[in-house]
């Protein structure tokens, strides 16, 4: 009786091996995508193998036919799945303590290289802590059905560690009233002030020493300014 086994390699390549018991010895195989390997002695006694590359992900019905004099004597079919395999990721910075979250899509398994001599795995990485304020080359590796890397995506990510303890101890700006209902006055520096929420999202930016965050939701915010040496100075604010 006809039968076969298969192994999926990488993103789209499949190797089929004939595991048929004794038959006529002449086999053809249909790959389920409109292509076939006809008229070839796919010999059962030597466990011959052939490979096929699929153009798109999907589920395919593959059939092996035992033929004699162009007449099908028996056949065996099995469905195989070529998974989608792309390395896509998004991220957002917490704005504090060098933390970032990463989300991967496009495949079923993932490995990460954060560019800081640490690695990770999985579709969701929460609160990865980078060692310092710097630019890191973060790479996502999508893993295919056979366990091989099928796609890679890398991005240069600037990590601003923001409000660490050193920054607070050398802070030049004072913000009041704190807590506030919306209007903030900044003292100690002049320039562009930026307000971030606890997720690192920019809420407001203005070249003024008086900020209005009355439209922001209640919670914790960070007011940040740069000095002439490029150092960040930050004040934590509680919005009522």
- Answer CATH for 88-159 from 2.60.120.260, 3.30.930.10, 3.30.230.70, 2.60.40.10: 2.60.40.10
Q: How many CB atoms lie within 10 A of CB 239?
A: 20
- Quickly list DSSP for 44-112: GGGT-EEEEE-SS-EEEEEEEEEEETTEEEEEEEEEEEE-----EEEEEE-SBTTEEEEEEESSSEEEE
pLDDT for residue 44: 43
Q: Using an 8 Å Cβ cutoff, are 102 and 139 in contact?
A: no
Digit-by-digit pLDDT tens for the chain (240 residues) are 788 888 887 667 888 888 887 655 677 788 998 888 764 444 443 457 888 888 877 889 999 887 765 565 688 899 988 877 788 998 877 666 677 889 898 887 899 999 999 999 999 988 788 888 888 999 999 887 667 787 899 998 888 775 443 344 456 788 999 889 989 998 888 878 888 877 667 788 888 888 899 998 988 888 888 777 667 777 888 888
Residue 142, beta-bridge partner list: 110, 151
pLDDT for residue 71: 64
Half-sphere exposure of 191 (CA within 13 A, CB side): 15
Give the span between the Cα atoms of 31 and 29, in whole angstroms. 6
Q: If you classify domain 165-239 with CATH, what class do you get?
A: mainly beta
Q: If you classify domain 4-82 with CATH, what class do you get?
A: mainly beta
Give the span between the Cα atoms of 88 and 205, in whole angstroms. 30
Give the span between the Cα atoms of 173 and 232, in whole angstroms. 10
Predicted TM-score (pTM) of this structure: 0.47
Q: How many CB atoms lie within 10 A of CB 14?
A: 21
Give the span between the Cα atoms of 198 and 221, in whole angstroms. 6
Buried b (16+ CB within 10 A) or exposed e, 55-83: eeeeebebbbbbbeeeeeeebbeeebebb
**Residue 174 corresponds to which tokens in the numbers above?**
């004072």
Give the span between the Cα atoms of 70 and 208, in whole angstroms. 85
Cα torsion 82, 87, 88, 90: sign: positive
Q: Using an 8 Å Cβ cutoff, are 52 and 40 in contact?
A: no
Cα-only R_g, the chain = 30
**Delimiting residues of CATH 2.60.40.10 domain(s) in the chain:** 4-82, 88-159
């Amino acid at each position: 009786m006809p039968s076969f086994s298969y192994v999926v390699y990488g993103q789209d390549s499949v190797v089929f091996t004939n595991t048929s018991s004794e038959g006529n010895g002449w086999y053809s195989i249909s790959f389920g995508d409109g292509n076939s390997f006809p008229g070839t002695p796919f010999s059962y006694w030597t466990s011959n193998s052939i490979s096929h590359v699929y153009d798109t992900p999907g589920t395919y019905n593959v059939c092996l036919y035992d033929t004699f004099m162009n007449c099908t004597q028996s056949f065996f079919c099995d469905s195989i799945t070529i998974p989608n395999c792309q390395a896509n990721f998004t991220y957002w910075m917490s704005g504090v303590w060098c933390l970032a979250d990463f989300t991967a899509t496009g495949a079923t398994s993932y490995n990460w290289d954060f560019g800081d001599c640490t690695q990770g795995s999985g579709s969701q990485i929460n609160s990865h802590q980078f060692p310092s304020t710097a630019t890191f080359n973060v790479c996502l590796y999508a893993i295919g059905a056979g366990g091989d890397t099928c796609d890679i995506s890398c991005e240069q990510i600037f990590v601003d560690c923001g409000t660490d303890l050193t920054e607070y101890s050398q802070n030049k700006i004072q913000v009041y009233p704190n807590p506030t209902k919306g209007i903030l006055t900044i003292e100690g520096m002049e320039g562009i002030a930026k307000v971030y929420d606890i997720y690192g999202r920019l809420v407001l930016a203005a070249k003024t020493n008086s900020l209005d965050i009355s439209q922001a939701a209640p919670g914790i915010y960070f007011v940040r300014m740069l000095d002439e040496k490029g150092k960040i100075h930050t004040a934590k604010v509680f919005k009522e």
